[in-house]
Amino acid sequence: MIRFLQARGHSYTLKKVKGAKGAPAISLMNYDRLIRAVWLRPATHIFTDLDRLGAWELELASHLYLQLKSRGLRVLNCPATVKTRYPLLRALHAAGLNDFNAYRPDEIGDKIRFPVFVRKSHGHRAPISDLLETREELQHTIDSAVAAGTPLENLIVIEYAGEPVRPGLYRKLAAFRIGNEIVPHISGHDTTWLVKIGKLGIAGEELYREELHLLQTNPFAEHLRKAFDVAHIEYGRADFGIYRGRIQIFEINTNPHLAPLDEHPSPTRIESMWYGWEKYLAALRRIDSGGGWPVRVANGELQGFRAWKNLWVRSRRVP
């Protein structure tokens, strides 16, 4: 069994995986349930959504990770060491794996390279700005975001490092790390620099054939493995692109929304989708573990944490 640990309200991301033919047995559990648990069935436990947890929840998750590991269970993504968006982008730049850098609003100096864009440090929504070309535009965007209620510490400024794969068309590449494997995933294509989901059928058959070749050959695996090592992430999906001939990692999402394409005008694209989907499921099967008696995960050290957490959960209920 594989148990994915997720933030409350975000189990939708893996519903299609859980019900897929060829998937191992999968359990989806939110952190509120995990923190209150006393016994757990043996399984591979994958900690996800760490960027969606508050500081206290993150510490609780870290203690529980250590508890599960000490009981002999297989655990992936240590909450105490996983790097989320801002520290990850800084670390990838420092390691020479990314050519662009990221800054807190109070860190902006002469070294910043325009254009840039502004986004929130936590969560996975789109950036809050388009590409900004000047310091005046940047400061106005920051001031407007703060005036609208976004805390300054939740804003980061990111240097843009992207280019079209052909005139007017942008591509976002993706690959998973699952345990020790790098598993390529299908791309997204769009007519704007911000490729989120992409647009159906716009890439054309030549690029779809190239995509299938990339999936089959996995040429970026070693570079991406280094990035995952820097991030201390053992399960997650890296979204990346090619800029001036070099790989640029935009983010690593530990709980991406996954579902196979229902239909597509390109048979090559359909082949790519199923190729990546089967590789993903096969890698999950290889990290599957479990069996035996349930293990106890409560002890004196964590009782105080759990008691406080139970009070905190009850306090969130609408009066």
Domain count, the chain: 3
- The 10s digit of each residue's pLDDT in 94-139 is 999 999 999 999 999 889 999 999 999 987 888 999 999 999 999 9
pTM as predicted: 0.91
Q: Is 95 a domain residue?
A: no
Asked whether residue 292 carries a pLDDT value surpassing 90, the answer given is no
Residue at 19 is within a domain: yes
Q: Within this chain, do residues 140 and 177 fall inside the same structural domain, yes or no?
A: no
Mean pLDDT of the chain: 91
How confident is the model over 282-299, as a mean pLDDT?
86
**Is 94 inside a domain boundary?**
no
> Are 174 and 214 in the same domain?
yes
The model's pLDDT over 209-248, given as tens digits with 9 standing for 90+, comes to: 999 999 999 999 999 999 999 999 999 999 999 999 999 9
pLDDT tens digits, residue range 24-37? 999 999 998 888 88
Closest CA to 193 of 150, 135, 129: 129
Q: Is the pLDDT of residue 163 over 80?
A: yes
Instruction: Render pLDDT for 53-77 as a digit per residue (tens, 0 to 9).
Output: 988 889 889 999 998 999 889 999 9
Average pLDDT estimate for 143-164: 96
Work out the percent of the chain whose per-residue pLDDT is above 70: 93
**Res. 16 pLDDT band, cuts 50 70 90:** very high
**Residue 175 and residue 276 share a domain:** yes
Give the CATH number for residue 283: 3.30.470
Would residue 279 count as lying in a domain? yes
Strand ranges (DSSP E) for the chain? 2-6, 26-30, 39-40, 44-47, 75-76, 102-103, 116-120, 155-159, 170-178, 181-190, 235-243, 246-253, 295-296
Looking at the structure, do residues 122 and 205 belong to the same domain, yes or no? no
pLDDT level of residue 263 (50, 70, 90 thresholds):
confident
Same domain? For 217 and 293 the reply is: no
Residue environment code for 90-119, b if the CB has 16+ CB neighbours within 10 A, otherwise e: bbbbeeebbebbbbebeeeeeeeeebbbbb
Tell me the C-alpha to C-alpha distance, in Å, between residue 34 and each of 11, 15, 67.
Answer: 14, 19, 12
**For residue 50, what are the domain limits?**
2-82+289-315
pLDDT at residue 149, as a whole number: 96
Quick one: 134 and 28 in the same domain? no
pLDDT score for 300 = 45
Q: In CATH, what number is assigned to the domain containing residue 113? A: 3.30.1490
State whether 134 and 217 are in the same domain: no
Contact call for residues 82 and 112 (beta carbons, < 8 A): no
212 and 277 fall within a common domain? yes
Q: How confident is the model at residue 294 (pLDDT cuts 50, 70, 90)?
A: confident
Backbone angles phi and psi of 22, in degrees to 5: 95, -5
pLDDT band at 199 (very low <50, low <70, confident <90, very high): confident
What's the average model confidence in pLDDT over 141-165? 96
Domain assignment present for 66: yes
Residues 283 and 304 in one domain: no
